[in-house]
């Protein structure tokens, strides 16, 4: 289901992912065909979002609609992306995975490094960069190790050790 990311600008994907992580997707319902979903995503107000033709064998074009002003202009919005992230996680849950506090643990024969590699390869570079920056900003030890390894500016290594 990773192809849906192609429909969004990187910054919209990031904002949609933040909405998903912060529980702005309040409902998700699958239609009778199994290829369409509706949901409510909370923003400045509650927006109704629809996506159609997910995993459809009959039509590979993804159709989306949201009641927010940004989508009214014909653009794909963060509410659509948030719903698609929720659907993706639910599908992963249905195929031998479980979700615990927004972290997905895969319960399969593949090892976690293969799964990590596949996941990273499916994401746009900007999303990976943004997520890495968040991780490094939140962990001083990782940040210091990263900066020492990749910055290669020996005169500022001492500065890295004192970063907040």
For residues 29-35, average pLDDT: 84
On whether both 83 and 14 belong to a single domain, the answer is: yes
State how far the Cα of 33 lies from the Cα of 23, in Å rounded to an integer: 26
**Domain range for residue 161?**
124-164
Runs of H (alpha helix) within the chain = 10-21, 69-72, 78-94, 112-122, 125-138, 140-151, 157-161
Query: Percentage of the chain surpassing pLDDT 70?
Result: 77
On whether both 59 and 100 belong to a single domain, the answer is: yes
Higher-confidence position of 131 and 70: 70
On whether both 141 and 89 belong to a single domain, the answer is: no
On whether both 95 and 161 belong to a single domain, the answer is: no
Residue 102 has a pLDDT of: 41
Residue 100 has a pLDDT of: 37
Q: In whole numbers, what is the pLDDT of the chain averaged over residues? A: 79
State how far the Cα of 146 lies from the Cα of 163, in Å rounded to an integer: 13
On whether both 92 and 137 belong to a single domain, the answer is: no
State how far the Cα of 106 lies from the Cα of 53, in Å rounded to an integer: 26
Label residue 80 by pLDDT band (50, 70, 90).
Answer: very high
Label residue 20 by pLDDT band (50, 70, 90).
Answer: very high
Q: Domain count of the chain?
A: 2
Label residue 113 by pLDDT band (50, 70, 90).
Answer: confident
In a domain, 116, yes or no: no
On whether both 81 and 15 belong to a single domain, the answer is: yes
Label residue 96 by pLDDT band (50, 70, 90).
Answer: very low
For the question of whether the overall pTM of this predicted structure is more than 0.75, the answer is no
For residues 62-77, average pLDDT: 93
On whether both 101 and 146 belong to a single domain, the answer is: no
Residue 48 has a pLDDT of: 96
State how far the Cα of 71 lies from the Cα of 66, in Å rounded to an integer: 6
For residues 78-83, average pLDDT: 95
């Amino acid at each position: 289901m990773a192809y849906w990311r192609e429909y969004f600008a990187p910054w919209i994907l990031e904002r949609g992912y933040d909405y998903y992580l912060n529980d702005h997707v309040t409902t998700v319902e699958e239609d009778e065909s199994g290829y369409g979903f509706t949901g409510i995503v909370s923003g400045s107000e509650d927006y109704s979002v629809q996506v159609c033709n997910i995993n459809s064998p009959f039509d590979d074009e993804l159709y989306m609609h949201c009641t927010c002003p940004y989508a009214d202009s014909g653009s794909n919005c963060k509410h659509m992306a948030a719903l698609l992230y929720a659907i993706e996680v639910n599908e992963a849950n249905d195929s031998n995975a479980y979700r615990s506090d927004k972290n997905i643990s895969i319960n399969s024969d593949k090892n976690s490094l293969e799964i990590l590699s596949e996941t990273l390869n499916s994401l746009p570079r900007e999303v990976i960069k943004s997520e890495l920056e968040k991780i490094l900003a939140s962990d001083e030890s990782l940040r210091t190790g990263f900066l020492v390894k990749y910055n290669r500016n020996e005169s500022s290594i001492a500065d890295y050790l004192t970063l907040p």
